Structure 1
Amino acid sequence: MPKKIKRKSSIGELYGKITVSGRDFESGERKLVKEIEHPFVRFCKKLARMSPGMGKGGVFNKENQSAIEYLDWKLTPQDFTAASKIVTLISFFLAFAAGIILYVSPLQELLALFTNDATTALVYSFFPFLIAAMGIIYYFQSYPVSAAKKEQTKSLTYVPEIMGYMIMSIKLVPNLEKAIEFAASHGKGKIAKDFKNLIWSTQIGVYNSLSEGLDTLAYRWGKYSEEFKRALMRIRASVIENTEAKRYALLDQTMSEMLESIRNKMELYARDLSQPSTMLFYIGVLLPLLLIIILPVGSSFSGAPLANPMVLFAIYNIAIPLITIVFAYSLLQTRPPTYSPPVIPDDYPGLPPKWKIPMGGSNVDARFLAILVLVFGLVFTSVLSTQGFPPKILNAIDGIDIELNDQIIAPDRTKEEVLVSAARDPDYFATDYPTHTGKRFNEQLSKRLPRIDDDEELELAIIAVTQEVKSEEQLFFSKGENDVSPYKLVFGFLISFSLALYILFFLANKAKRKVQLEVQELETEFKDSLYVIASRMGENKPIEDAMKHVQEFLPDLKISRVVFAKTLDNIKLLGMPLEQAVFDKTHGSVANIPSTMIKSSMKMLIDSVQLGVNVAARTMISLSIQLQNSEKVNNTLKILVSDVTGTMKTMTLFIAPIVLGITTSLQRIVIVTISSLASSSVLDSASNTSSGVGDSFSSFSVSGFISPEAIAGIASPTQFILIVAIYIIELVAIMTYFTTKIEEDNDLLVKMNIAQYLPIAITMFVISMIVSNLFLAVGVG
C-alpha cells in the first residue's frame, strides 16, 4: 500500500490557526474566524456554480457596484450576473408552466366568463404569472441597492449610539485607538462591524495608521451619512486639543449637532411617511368601499363576471390584502430602528406556562378555552339561526306552545319559508332541467318552445331560460321582505372567532406583556439611578457604597431592590466578587432581567470600576447622557408618526368596518335596481308616452345590454357579507401590524393589539349592518 503523503498547509490555513487575545478584550473577540456570508451572497454563488459560463463578462451597474462596496459583500460581478440570468430563466419557466396549468385546469371556465375569445383567455392565463416573474426578477436584481438603503436607514440610530461611545471613551482617555475599540465592542449594526474591520486592517498593515483608516471610513460613509463623517472628523480633531475644556466643548458640540441632524432626518422620514400611509389607507379601506358598488354595476353592463363570488373573493381576500401587505412591508423597511423592547422568554420566572391563563388560582389552557368559546358560539348561533329564542323545538314539550310572534329573537328565514309566504311553490325557481324544474322555468321555456326547431336551439333556450330564472331569483331574494341571509349564524361565527383569537393571543400573553412593561420600567429607573451612582463614586466612594446609597436614596424604585440590593446581598452573604454578583447565571442580580440595556450598562460599570472609581463615575455620567440621547431619538420618532398611526387606527377600528357594513347592506339595493332594469323593457314605457316611435327603437330594452347571465352570477348578500367580513379580519391584522411596528418594533405587542382590536372591528361591522338593514328594510322592500 503506497505511503500516504501529508499535504502541506496553505498560508490561509496557517493564518486561520492563529488566535490573538488581549487583556482588554472579551474572550474570543479577537479570534480569526471565517466571516459568515450574507444569505443573498451565498444564494448567488450557489446559482453561479450551476452554470459559471453564464456570468462571463458580467459587470455591476453603478448602483449595485456602490451598494455592494458599501455592504462589503464578497460578491463578484460574474457570480451576480450568472445568478441573475438563472433566476430570470427559472422565473419565466415557472410563469409559463403555471399559465399552462391554469389554462387547462377547471379554473379556465372562470376565465372564459370574461371573454369568448380563446386568444384573450390564453393571455389572461399567462399575464398575471408573467407580471409576477418580472417582479421577482426586478426584486433580485435590485436587492443589493435595497439592502444598502436598509443599512443606511439603520444608521440613523446606530450613528449617534456609536458616536456616543466614542465620545465617552475620549472624554475619559483622549486616545483615538481606545475610543474606536470601545465603540466597536459596544456598538451595533454595520458601523460597529466597520470599526472592527478598521482595527484589523490597521493591525495587518493595510493602513499606515488608525487615523488614515478612519479618514477612509469617514469618506466612504459620507455618501450616506454626512453627519457621521463630520462627527468622525471632529472627534479626530478633539484628540489634539491642548486643553480638556476645549476637547469637551468640541465633543459636546459634535454630539449636539449630530442629534439635531438625526432629528431632522426623523422629521423628514415622518413627513415622507404621511403620503405613503395615506396611499395605504386608500388601497386598504377606500378602494374596497368603491368596488362594492362598482363591481356589480360593471358586471351587469359589461357581462363580465366582476361580481362573481370567486372573483370577489380573489379581489377582496387575496389581491387587495396582498398588495396592502407588500406596500406596508416596504414602508416598514424604511423605518429607522430605535428602541428594542425586552424580549420575555416563555420560561421567565413567575410567568405561567406557555398557552396558560391564570384563572381562580389555577392555570387554564388558552387553546382549550378558545376552542370551547368557538364551539359554543357556533352551536349557540346555529340554534339561534334555525330555532330563534326561545327555541321552536320547545313546542315538542307538552304544555308549551311558542308562536313566531312570541319569540324574542326570530330565526333566520329559509328560502322555502319565504316562497311559501309569497304564495309560491318551494321549488318555484328550480332550474335542474330535465329532472327538477320549477314553475317559473317551465313558464319561460314553454313560451320559447313553439319557435324551437332542433335540439341545438332547445339547448340554447334552456341555457337562456336558466339564466333568466336565476336572475329573477336573485332579484326576488334581494328584496328586504324576502331576505334569507343567515345573519345570526354569520354574525355569531364572526364574534366567536374574534373572541377565540382574543383569548389565544391577548389573554395568553397578558402576563408576559405585564413583565415586559415592568422590565421597561426597570430600564427607565436604571437611567435615573446612574446619576446617583456616578455622583457617589465621584466622591471617591467604592461601587458597593454607591449601590447602597442608591438603595437608601431611592427606596421606592424597583431597580434599587431588584438589582442593587441583590448585588450587595450576593457580595456580603455569598461572598461573590462584583462581576459574579451581577452576572452569575444562577444568583446574579441581572440573570433574570431580559434587558440588553441594563446588562450592557452593568458590564460597562464593572469594567470601568477596574480603572478606578473616578473613571467609573465619568463613564456612568457619559453613559447616562448617551442613554438619554437614544431615548430622545426614540420619542421623537413616536411623536412624529403618532398623527398618522392614530388616524389609521381610528379608520381601521371604527370607520372602515362601519362604512363597509353600511355599503354591504346597500349592495342589496344595487342588485334590486339592476335586476329590475334587466327585467323591464323600454318598449312598454315608450308605447305609453309616444306612438310614433319606429320599430327599431321600440324593440330596444335595457335587458339588451344588461346581461341576465351577469345578474345571475352576482354574489348573493350572504356571500358578500362573508367576503367583506373576511376582508375586515385581514384589514385589521395588516393595519394593526403596520401601525404597531411603526410606533414600536415589538412583536408581542403586535399580536396582542391584533387580538384586542379584532373584536372591536367585528362588533362595529355587525352593529352597522344590523342598523343599516333596519333602515333599508322598508326601502328595499
Structure 2
Amino acid sequence: MSKYETYENYCRIAHNYFKGFVKDFKPSRKLKEAIKFTGMKVKPAEVYALAVASVFALLLLTLILFFVFILIGIINFAGILICIIFLLLPIVMYFYMKDYPILMEGKEKAHSSGDIPGVVSYLVMALRINPNMERAIKFAANHSTGTFEKVLKKMMYNIRTGKYSAERGLAVLGDEWGEVSPEFKRSMRLVVASTSDKTEGRRQETLNKAAEVLLTGLSERTGDSARKLHTPVMMVFTFGVILPLIFIALIPLASFMGFGVGAPLIALLYIIVLPAILYILINFIIGYRPVTIPPPRIPLSEYPEFKLAPFVILFGFLITLPGFLYLSGVKIVDLGALSMTPILLGISAALSGYFIGTSYRIKRMRDDIYAMEGEFGETMYQLGVILSEGRSLEDAMSRIKEMSRDAKSAEIFAIAANNVRLFNMDLKSAFFDSKAGSARKVFSDTIKSAVETIVAISSRGSASIASLAYRLSDHIKNMRAVDAEIKRTLGSVVSSMQIIAGVVGPLVGGMISGMSNVLAGSMGKVIAEGAGMFGFGTTAAAEPISPGIITIIVGIYVIETAIILISFSDDLIYGGDAVMKKYHLGLYIPAATLMFITSAWAAGVLIGGLGG
C-alpha cells in the first residue's frame, strides 16, 4: 500500500469533477520527475485538478463565512478584513497542492540525503577488502535503509539482468543525487575510478579521497545552507508568529470603534487558519535543509512500552478541570483573565508527559551509542597497534580491553574473543549470533559495518588487518568530526528556532495578551457609559471579547506555533527523526506555556492589573 494512498484518491476524485479545468495543463519536467521519484500513482493532470479543487473548496468556505457574518449581523469592516485574511489560505493551498509531489520529493531526498555518508562509507569499506564493485553495492544495499536501500537493490537487479554495469550504475546514482549533494556525485566518480587503479596503494588512496571529498563537501556546504536558511527563518518568525500576535492587541480597539469581532471567529483564525498557513510555509522551506548524518536507528522491537500513558492523559485532564469549570460558570478560583489557563497547563502537561515518556529511554540508548561511536575510532586504532606487533586477531581482541578499560566498544571485541575460545564459535557468530553475539545489541551501523569488514578479512595476515584497522579508524574519526561540525554550524539556526518557539514567541504572546486584556477592561468601562468612537463603525461600541477567552485563544496559538517551530528545527538537524522530535517537544511545550502565562500575568500587573 502506497503511503500517499489518501492523496492519490483525492487527486482522482478531484479530476473526475474538475477535468475540464485541467485539460490544457502542461506539466513541468520537475513535476513528472517528482511523481516518478516518490512513486505516487497519479497523473500530473490529477495533481493540478486537486489544486484547483482545494481553491474552490476554500473559496466556498470563505463565502459561507461571509453569509454567516451577514446573518449574525457582523458584516462590518472587521468581518470583511477577516474574510480577506481567509482568502490567503486558498492562495497558499493552491501552490502547496500544485507542488505537493515536488515538495514531497524534496522532503524525501532531504531525509534520505542523511544516508549518503553511510552509503559512501559502506562502499569504501567493502572496496578496501575487495575491488569487486558488485559485491560492494550488495554490501551497501544490505546495510542501507529507506530510499537508498530500494535504489541500491534495484541497481543490483539491473546489473544482474545486464541493463548496465556496476560502474555505470554508481555513476548514474551520483548524477541523480548530484542536485541534492554535489559532493556525493564527485565521490561516486572516485569510487568508480578506484577499480581502475593499477596498484593496491593507489586504489586505497583513491578510496580515501572519495571519503574525504564527500565529508569535506558536506561540511562546507552546511555553512552555506545555514546562511541561506537565516532569512526564511526570520520571515517565518516575523510574519508567521509575531505579526499575528500583534493583531491581538487591536481586538479591543476594534470593539471600541464598533467593529464587533466574535470569539468564534478569532478562535477559528488563530487556532486553525494561521497555524495551517505557518505549517504550509514551513514545508516550502524544509527542502533547503542541508545533508545531515541521521541518529542511530534502533529497531521498533527494542522500544520500551510507555505504560503510564493513560495516567499522563488523566493527570493532564485533571489539571484542565478548574479552567473548564470556570468556562462553564463555576468559579473555584478567580484569577481574572488567567482563570482558564489551567486548560493550557493541562494540555501541555499531557503532551509533554506523553512525548517525554515515549522518547526518553530511546534517547538514552542513542546517547550510549553516540558515546560508543565516539570512542570506537580510537579502539580500532589500538586494535591496529596490537596487530602490528604480529599478534593474532583473536589475541588482539582479548588484549584490547586491557588497553581501553573504560571503553565500551572494546568490550565488543573482548566478549567476541571469549565466545571463540570458550564456546568454539566462528568469528562471525562470535560477533553477530542472535543469542550470544557481542554486537547483537549494538545498534550502530558504523560499528557493525566496521566489525563486518574486519571479519571479512580475518583469514588474511595480521599486517593486512592492522592496515585496514588504521584506515577504518581514520574514516570513523573523520565521520564523527564532520557530524560535529555540521551540528555546530546548524546550531545557530536551530537554537534561534528553539528560542523563538520556547521563549520569544510565548513572551511576546503573553505580553500582548496581557496588554489586550487590560485595554479590554478599560474600554469595557467606557462602553458601559455608552460612549461611541467618533462615528467609526456602528453608532455604539461593540461588546469586547472576554479577556479570559482572548488569553486561552492566544495560549493555544502559542502552543501550536511552538509545536510547528520545534518540529521544523528538529527536521533541520535530525532529518525528521520522530524520537528527537518527541523529546524536544516534551521539553519546549511546557516551557512555552509557562513563559506565556508568566508574561501575560506580568504584563497585566505592569500595565494596570489584571483585575482592571
- State the match for 2:162 in structure 1: 205
TM-superposed CA distance for 1:583, in Å, is 2.4
TM-superposed CA distance for 1:241, in Å, is 3.5
1:265 aligns with 2:225: no
Query: Structure 1 pair 89/656, CA: closer, same or farther in 2 (3 Å)?
Result: closer
TM-superposed CA distance for 1:554, in Å, is 1.0
Query: Structure 1 pair 107/368, CA: closer, same or farther in 2 (3 Å)?
Result: farther
Matches within 5 A, 1:365-764: 365=308, 367-368=310-311, 371-372=314-315, 374-375=317-318, 378=321, 412=334, 485=336, 487=338, 489-506=339-356, 509-539=359-389, 541-561=391-411, 563-609=412-458, 614-671=463-520, 702-707=533-538, 711-712=542-543, 714-745=544-575, 746-764=577-595
Query: Structure 1 pair 539/80, CA: closer, same or farther in 2 (3 Å)?
Result: farther
Cα separation, 2, equivalents of 1:681 and 1:74: 62
TM-superposed CA distance for 1:284, in Å, is 4.3
Query: Structure 1 pair 554/366, CA: closer, same or farther in 2 (3 Å)?
Result: same
What is the DSSP-based 3-state SS (H/G/I as helix, E as strand, rest coil) of the residue aligned with 2:542?
helix
- State the match for 1:163 in structure 2: 120
Gaps of 5+ in 2: none
1:339 aligns with 2:293: yes
- State the match for 1:62 in structure 2: 29
Query: Structure 1 pair 252/507, CA: closer, same or farther in 2 (3 Å)?
Result: closer
Cα separation, 1, equivalents of 2:11 and 2:211: 44
- State the match for 1:309 in structure 2: 263
Cα separation, 1, equivalents of 2:567 and 2:127: 42
TM-score (norm: length of structure 2):
0.81
Cα separation, 2, equivalents of 1:87 and 1:529: 56
Cα separation, 1, equivalents of 2:587 and 2:38: 43
Query: Structure 1 pair 329/717, CA: closer, same or farther in 2 (3 Å)?
Result: same
What is the DSSP-based 3-state SS (H/G/I as helix, E as strand, rest coil) of the residue aligned with 2:441?
coil
Query: Structure 1 pair 170/740, CA: closer, same or farther in 2 (3 Å)?
Result: closer
Gaps of 5+ in 1: 1-35, 356-364, 389-410, 413-483, 683-700
Question: Which amino acid in the other structure matches residue 758 of structure 1?
Answer: I
> With CA pairs under 8 Å and 6+ residues apart, which has the higher RCO, 1 or 2?
2
Query: Structure 1 pair 643/315, CA: closer, same or farther in 2 (3 Å)?
Result: same
Question: Which amino acid in the other structure matches residue 258 of structure 1?
Answer: L
TM-superposed CA distance for 1:270, in Å, is 0.8
TM-superposed CA distance for 1:131, in Å, is 5.5
TM-superposed CA distance for 1:632, in Å, is 3.2
Contact 1:154 1:336 in 2 (8 A): no
Query: Structure 1 pair 550/224, CA: closer, same or farther in 2 (3 Å)?
Result: same
Contact 1:172 1:618 in 2 (8 A): no
Cα separation, 1, equivalents of 2:557 and 2:7: 38
- State the match for 1:146 in structure 2: 103
Max Rg structure: 1
TM-superposed CA distance for 1:291, in Å, is 0.8
Contact 2:376 2:409 in 1 (8 A): yes
Cα separation, 2, equivalents of 1:142 and 1:770: 44
- State the match for 2:274 in structure 1: 320
As a proportion of its length, which structure holds more helix? 2
TM-superposed CA distance for 1:274, in Å, is 0.9
What is the DSSP-based 3-state SS (H/G/I as helix, E as strand, rest coil) of the residue aligned with 1:576?
coil
- State the match for 1:777 in structure 2: 608
Task: Kindly report the root-mean-square deviation, in angstroms, between the aligned alpha carbons of the 2 structures.
Answer: 4.6
* 1:223-243: CA deviation from partner (whole Å, max 9, x where unpaired): 655434433444444443444
Q: Which piece of structure 1 moves more, 318-327 or 368-377?
A: 368-377
TM-superposed CA distance for 1:641, in Å, is 2.0
Cα separation, 2, equivalents of 1:551 and 1:163: 30
Cα separation, 2, equivalents of 1:219 and 1:633: 23
TM-superposed CA distance for 1:268, in Å, is 1.4
The percentage of counterpart residues that share the same residue type is: 24
TM-superposed CA distance for 1:266, in Å, is 1.2
- State the match for 1:459 in structure 2: none
Contact 1:502 1:756 in 2 (8 A): yes
TM-score (norm: length of structure 1):
0.65
What is the DSSP-based 3-state SS (H/G/I as helix, E as strand, rest coil) of the residue aligned with 1:206?
coil
Aligned residue pairs, count:
606
Which of 43, 62, 67 aligns to 1:80? It is 43
What is the DSSP-based 3-state SS (H/G/I as helix, E as strand, rest coil) of the residue aligned with 1:609?
coil
What is the DSSP-based 3-state SS (H/G/I as helix, E as strand, rest coil) of the residue aligned with 2:437?
coil
What is the DSSP-based 3-state SS (H/G/I as helix, E as strand, rest coil) of the residue aligned with 1:650?
helix
Contact 1:163 1:255 in 2 (8 A): yes
Contact 2:31 2:99 in 1 (8 A): yes
Query: Structure 1 pair 737/217, CA: closer, same or farther in 2 (3 Å)?
Result: closer
* 1:324-381: CA deviation from partner (whole Å, max 9, x where unpaired): 22333443344345333345568649x6x522xxxxxxxxx45336634753784699
Question: Which amino acid in the other structure matches residue 365 of structure 2?
Answer: V
Query: Structure 1 pair 710/625, CA: closer, same or farther in 2 (3 Å)?
Result: farther
Query: Structure 1 pair 564/623, CA: closer, same or farther in 2 (3 Å)?
Result: same
What is the DSSP-based 3-state SS (H/G/I as helix, E as strand, rest coil) of the residue aligned with 1:523?
helix
Question: Which amino acid in the other structure matches residue 577 of structure 1?
Answer: D
